[in-house]
Structure 1
Amino acid sequence: MIEAILFAITIVMPNLFLMGLGFFMQRRGEASQAFINQASNFVFNYCLPCLLFFSVVDSDVDYAKQVVLIAAGIVVTFILYIGSELYASRFISAPADQGVFVQGVFRSNMAIIGLATVANAYGEIGLSIGAVYMGIVTILFNILAVITLSRVSKNANDTWISRIVLIVKKLATNPLMVALIAAFAYKAFSLPPITGVLHITGDLLAAVALPLALICAGASIDLKSMLSPSGISMQASIGRIVIAPLIAIAVGLSFGLTGMHMGVLFLMAAAPTAAASYVMAKAMGGNDILAANILGFTTVVGMFGMAIGAGILRGMGLM
């Protein structure tokens, strides 16, 4: 049991410390909003793509064996999406709140907190598996997010055709998706290993990705929003922090997942609400204040939920 507790602390505390550093820097005026925006763009456009590309290219993981894990992740996503849609249609009246609520429940922060926690738990092999999982499920996240947020739109000429075009454009220009596709293509053609200056440069950029992303996440925390959640944001937060991990465990067990695969599924599904949920809600006319409240609360509190769940699963020998 002590080993399970130490495991949970080890995989979560480094992330919390880095987020705490970011929050401390923001309070001291050392991390302005301009810095956060620029650093986040740098991580998203350059560092994370390098991390994902080299994680896949350098690994010896048989990705064909990850089909069951990915299928389980897709099932978890659909259960959360459909369940939150039904709940929102029954208990939430404002269209601008419904889509934000649904997105807050089903869309987790896989690219930053999920990957960072998986890397802490399982090292390079886990990171490679997590990168592939994230790449596939991210496609589904984007499609479902556009669908649920399309209840309201700032554009009166918005149509389903324009929404489909928006999804395709987002996926085709997403640096993370481009990096993963390039990595899969590189391995598929059995090209020679990347070495020398190019690989060293990629490693340096990759090493920056998760620490800087977590610092930016911490610097973006708004205590007022986090400590004053509305009824709807609290309901969404419970869905993300409590319901989502439980569903992930149930689906993982039903798919026969154990060990690292169960761990990756749990940590990716139990991660706090994705930062992109706020950006997309604001862009598509959703309640951006509600999105910010959900994001802030789950970002901090959700980390403790991940630690508790990971400790229990580890103690039971499931991850």
Structure 2
Amino acid sequence: MLLETLLFTAEITLPVCVMLLAGILFKKKGVIDDHFISVSSRLVFNFALPAVIFLSLSNLDRSAGLDPMLVGLAFVGSLAGFFLAWLVSLKVTEKREDRGVFIQGAARGNLAIIGLALVANMYGDPGVALMSLMMAFIIPLFNVCSVVVLGVYSQQSGASLSIRGMITDLITNPLIIAVVLGVLVSLSGIGIPSVVDKVGRYFAQISLPLALLGIGGTLSVQALKETSLASLWASLLKVVWLPLIMVPLAWVMGYNGMELSVVFLLFSCPTAVASFVMAKAFNGNAPLAANIIVLTTLGSLPVVSAGIFFMRSVGVV
């Protein structure tokens, strides 16, 4: 039983860990560079990941439906994560202008890449479909909350919160579009032409490996030397405290198996790389944002492994 649980855990997290390490190594050896990472990231975000999401949702079992309680739990928990991060930031950030970077770093997860990769290893297409549905509600929340907290605490005097801009970004987001189209195709019962399905699966097959290599390539071990108390606190909130709060709550509400695993992975994901880009756009503390990304990415994999091992051992997943 112990060996089986260990192998089950390794099959989920080890491939992701290997691809991240490969990205770090390839970048160090010059096999990939910043230009490759930039181009491949655009390819993944605009085409490959939407293909994964669309194909998973278009084949979704219509009888399963969407659990409003589960979505509500994830949405409220994510919003509460921003509020908790704000409370902690009042105590651990020395400068007021660092609070926005701290808050989004502690609460904004990398669902589209790390989350999907882990759930795909664990449950395949059904897990990806469920995570994708959750992302349709959580990603807009992440974007809006991040813009608000960065705008409020920004050093950039001209920074403003553009409601029209936020709405435009959300409705033109390729991942959101893929979710909507996938759900519509699933509900309509229209079959996808085999040629379209095959081309989509070609894109889907390259998405997660390419995305993980890109994230690995962007990680800077040098950033660990600049680790601060704020980045440590943000990382602990993101990959330890949020899942410790939300997973027992989901279990008490009656969830187990795939649903409980998705809640766990949703809240234990490392900080999204996009948080660094947004921090720079708002003239925030970019080194702090980078530190949080590195610490949560390196810290989340052992935490996820331990969490999956424990939940598998007690029989709830």
The structure 1 segments of at least 4 consecutive aligned residues displaced by more than 6 Å after TM superposition are none
One of 300, 305, 316 as aligned partner of 2:298: 300
Q: 1:8 offset after TM fit, Å? A: 1.4
Measure the CA separation in 2 of the matches of 1:230 and 1:19.
23
Counterpart code for 2:209: P
Counterpart code for 1:171: L
Post-superposition Cα deviations, 1:42-64, rounded to whole Å, max 9, x if no partner, equal 10011001111111002215463
SS class of match (1:318): coil
Measure the CA separation in 1 of the matches of 2:239 and 2:178.
30
Measure the CA separation in 2 of the matches of 1:179 and 1:83.
31
Q: Which residue of 2 aligns with 1:184?
A: 183
2:17–2:301: 8 Å Cα contact kept in structure 1?
A: yes
Q: 1:145 offset after TM fit, Å? A: 0.8
2:151–2:160: 8 Å Cα contact kept in structure 1?
A: no
Q: 1:245 offset after TM fit, Å? A: 1.6
Counterpart code for 1:4: T
CA pair 285-152 structure 1, distance change in 2 beyond 3 A: farther
Q: 1:68 offset after TM fit, Å? A: 2.3
Q: Which residue of 2 aligns with 1:266?
A: 264
1:48–1:206: 8 Å Cα contact kept in structure 2?
A: yes
Measure the CA separation in 2 of the matches of 1:293 and 1:214.
18
Q: Which residue of 1 aligns with 2:98?
A: 97
Post-superposition Cα deviations, 1:267-310, rounded to whole Å, max 9, x if no partner, equal 12111111111111111222111000100111112111111111
One of 230, 235, 238 as aligned partner of 1:232: 230
Aligned ranges 1:1-319 → 2 under 5 Å:
1-60=2-61, 62=63, 64-153=65-154, 156-160=157-161, 162=162, 164-188=163-187, 190-319=188-317
Give unmatched runs, 5+ long, in structure 2: none
Size of the alignment, in residue pairs?
316
CA pair 3-79 structure 1, distance change in 2 beyond 3 A: farther
Measure the CA separation in 2 of the matches of 1:80 and 1:181.
26
SS class of match (2:219): coil
Post-superposition Cα deviations, 1:169-190, rounded to whole Å, max 9, x if no partner, equal 22012110111112222233x1
What is the alpha-carbon root mean square deviation over aligned residues?
A: 1.6
- TM-score normalized by the length of structure 1: 0.94
CA pair 47-74 structure 1, distance change in 2 beyond 3 A: same
Measure the CA separation in 2 of the matches of 1:75 and 1:254.
16
SS class of match (1:35): helix
- TM-score normalized by the length of structure 2: 0.95
Between 90-99 and 305-314, the greater mean CA deviation after superposition? 90-99
Q: 1:119 offset after TM fit, Å? A: 0.6
SS class of match (2:61): coil
Post-superposition Cα deviations, 1:89-146, rounded to whole Å, max 9, x if no partner, equal 2332423210111111111111000010001011111111111111211111111111
2:151–2:282: 8 Å Cα contact kept in structure 1?
A: yes
Measure the CA separation in 1 of the matches of 2:232 and 2:292.
7
Q: 1:157 offset after TM fit, Å? A: 4.6
CA pair 61-305 structure 1, distance change in 2 beyond 3 A: farther
Post-superposition Cα deviations, 1:1-51, rounded to whole Å, max 9, x if no partner, equal 332222211100000111111111111101110001111111001100111
Measure the CA separation in 2 of the matches of 1:157 and 1:99.
16
CA pair 91-21 structure 1, distance change in 2 beyond 3 A: closer
Measure the CA separation in 2 of the matches of 1:20 and 1:159.
38
2:170–2:176: 8 Å Cα contact kept in structure 1?
A: yes
2:97–2:154: 8 Å Cα contact kept in structure 1?
A: no
Q: 1:154 offset after TM fit, Å? A: 6.3
Counterpart code for 1:263: S
Between 196-205 and 63-72, the greater mean CA deviation after superposition? 63-72
Post-superposition Cα deviations, 1:232-276, rounded to whole Å, max 9, x if no partner, equal 111111111211220221221232211110001101211111111
Measure the CA separation in 2 of the matches of 1:266 and 1:38.
31
CA pair 28-61 structure 1, distance change in 2 beyond 3 A: farther
Counterpart code for 1:170: D
